[in-house]
Structure 1
Amino acid sequence: MTLWPVRTLFCALLLMPVMVWAEVCAEDNMGQQLCLPEPAKRIATLSPGATELAFAAGAGDKVVAVVNYSDYPEAARKLPLVGNHTRIDLEALLALKPDLVITWRTGNPPAQMEMLRALGLPMFAIEPRTFEGVSKVIEQLSILAGTEQEGFAEAERFRKGISLIAEQYRDAEPLPVFYQVWQTPLMTINDNHLIGKVIRLCGGANVFGDMPRLVPRISAEVVLEADPHAIITGSVEGAEDNQLDRWQSYTGMTAVAKNNLFFVPASPISRPTPRLLEASRDICQRLDVARERE
């Protein structure tokens, strides 16, 4: 057996590539800077939206824990569950040894989040409320996961898609729209909500856009008074169900008289993720139909 001289072996070792990770830092939606000594390898996502955004950032293969209803993309359905977004199974979560926990700013229980923080787990709180915010979160997550190439490309795809829709509907005739979030109690959204921004993107005029609360409760009487020309709600896969049946008896309402009661897939429109692009196109198409019936 031939042995390399010590000097030759030493030179060969010097020429071998060495993976050296630099510290990675990103700012979350609470304005907090998080720095990791190296890109995260084991990520826990504590809301369905956080799960989607982690996958959009190219970090899907690094996600080791999710919560209930993390159903998109399909690969997320196979990941270990650690409770739901309002109650986390801390023991199950800690057993999976995450080196990054992506939380939902207003959805996760504050007491449990403080407990995780006290245990020293790196926490990154997100909840984008604008189109640009969605792109920015994807970019920040990709930085923390070391997947910038995929994440920044997806963020830019989303930006360009939204810009194209905005240009297409820039001069669209405004159409009074009521978006029904829930039927009992009756709930809607204002213009600060991302769904409200989608309606405006498509040239719609949210009849409850000026209300102070993000998701206000309302009465049937105020809907009748507002007289929307289109009513939209989310349902499973956008299939028609009984959620809008209550309005059928109000034949004097323009939306009912013109048969402008529309259903769109609930999941894409209700989560601030890249699927908002798909949801925006759906809503724009529905409002195009309503304009043709004016």
Structure 2
Amino acid sequence: MKKMFKLQWLSVLMLAFVLVGCGAKEDTNKETVSKEDQQVEKTSYKVKDDRGVEVEFNAVPKTIVSLQPSNTEILFALGVGDKIVGATEFDTYPEEAKKIERVSSSTTFNSERILALKPDVVIAYTTGSDDENLNALKVLEDAGIKVFAIKSATSFDDVYGDIQQVASVMGIEDKGEKLNEDIKAKIAEVQAKVKDVKAKNIYLEISPKPDIYTTGSGTFQQEILNAANVKNVFADLESWQKVSEEDVIAKNPEVILTTVNTENSAAEILARGGWNSITAIQNKAVYFIDPDISNRPGPRIGEAVELIAKAVYPELFK
């Protein structure tokens, strides 16, 4: 039987909601740059991960195991997704990611299979606390596998840092910088369209009845809402919080957004008994937002901001 080790996923009642972030900078010894593919040839360079560990590489990794969907998206966005040989069951974007061998579920990873794949690096994650998953990953390190851990993201700046870190590991710092510039330009484009509109009050549901959860301040989702120029009716709460139906009714949002990835989640909200006094229900302003885009702190954060803005202010995007 394959030996499985438990991972601690940073997720609060969101399907496949995993966040990764960083803040550490790299320390590298650069050699030459190939003009053909922009790949930096390096020898014996080091990149510091978010455990504070300086991971040393004798050459740019040719094979990678990615244990977070957001990291997988970053690798593909940087043009090195073809180097991924192992991923999680939630790696669904881009389409090519679905073909990668699954070595991790939402709770465990298959250490024996990862060892058999002999990747040049495992890009893992840490929540910044005493992670049980980091203890499990030590088994890989003890077997000679390089592990690069990235701290869970809570802001756009963290995402930009993630991208630059991964780019440094792969010897393509310039591509990381360009990707970040493109993402920021996308967000700025959306903000230019919504900057003069009167912000609407919205309620974001991330878990349905009977245990209704929403997002508050200090979350990645709140930053997306802020960038889209909408007002979260539960911004006075901290982090992800359970709320009652009475709480939502009392807040009377103008628009309701749901990232609950079930069939007809918006229709279920529209049909809830006792909610017909809510402005959003009366106007049928209830919309499903793709959780893979809105919950995943990776290179599609610009798309996430646009999704929210289009749902709340469709007239500005005609």
CA distance in 1, matches of 2:315, 2:270: 18
Give me the CA root mean square deviation: 2.7
Summarize deviations over 1:45-99 as a string: whole Å, max 9, x none: 0122221122122221211110101111111111111121420010011111112
Residues 230 and 208 of structure 1, relative CA distance in 2, 3 Å threshold? same
Residues 58 and 103 of structure 1, relative CA distance in 2, 3 Å threshold? same
Paired position in structure 1 for 2:217: 191
1:145 CA drift (Å):
1.1
Paired position in structure 2 for 1:244: 269
Higher relative contact order at CA 8 Å, sep ≥6: structure 1 or structure 2? 2
Paired position in structure 1 for 2:202: 177
Summarize deviations over 1:195-214 as a string: whole Å, max 9, x none: 211111111111112212x2
The secondary structure found in structure 2 opposite 1:109 is: helix
Q: Which runs of 5+ in 2 are unaligned?
A: 1-39
146-155 vs 70-79, which moves further = 146-155
Q: Which runs of 5+ in 1 are unaligned?
A: 1-18
Match of 1:77 among 98, 101, 109: 98
Paired position in structure 1 for 2:177: 152
Query: Are 1:210 and 2:231 matched, yes or no?
Result: no
- 1:131 and 1:159 in contact (8 A); partners too: no
Paired position in structure 2 for 1:14: none
Pairing of 1:126-145 with structure 2 (within 5 A): 126=150, 127-145=152-170
Match of 1:109 among 133, 136, 158: 133
- Higher-Rg structure is 1
- 2:205 and 2:260 in contact (8 A); partners too: no
Match of 2:148 among 124, 129, 138: 124
Residues 85 and 61 of structure 1, relative CA distance in 2, 3 Å threshold? same
TM-score by length of structure 2 reads: 0.76
Residues 290 and 117 of structure 1, relative CA distance in 2, 3 Å threshold? farther
Summarize deviations over 1:142-174 as a string: whole Å, max 9, x none: 111123343332221012212232343334312
CA distance in 1, matches of 2:251, 2:191: 26
Pairing of 1:1-294 with structure 2 (within 5 A): 21-30=42-51, 32-106=53-127, 109-126=133-150, 127-184=152-209, 185-212=211-238, 214-234=239-259, 242-247=267-272, 249-289=274-314
Paired position in structure 2 for 1:4: none
Letter in 1 for 2:190: I
1:30 CA drift (Å):
4.8
Letter in 2 for 1:77: K
Letter in 1 for 2:226: R
Residues 117 and 172 of structure 1, relative CA distance in 2, 3 Å threshold? farther
Which structure features the higher share of helix residues? Answer: 1
- 1:46 and 1:66 in contact (8 A); partners too: yes
CA distance in 2, matches of 1:259, 1:82: 42
- 1:45 and 1:102 in contact (8 A); partners too: yes
Letter in 2 for 1:201: A
Identity of paired residues, percent?
A: 25
The secondary structure found in structure 1 opposite 2:215 is: coil
Letter in 2 for 1:25: K
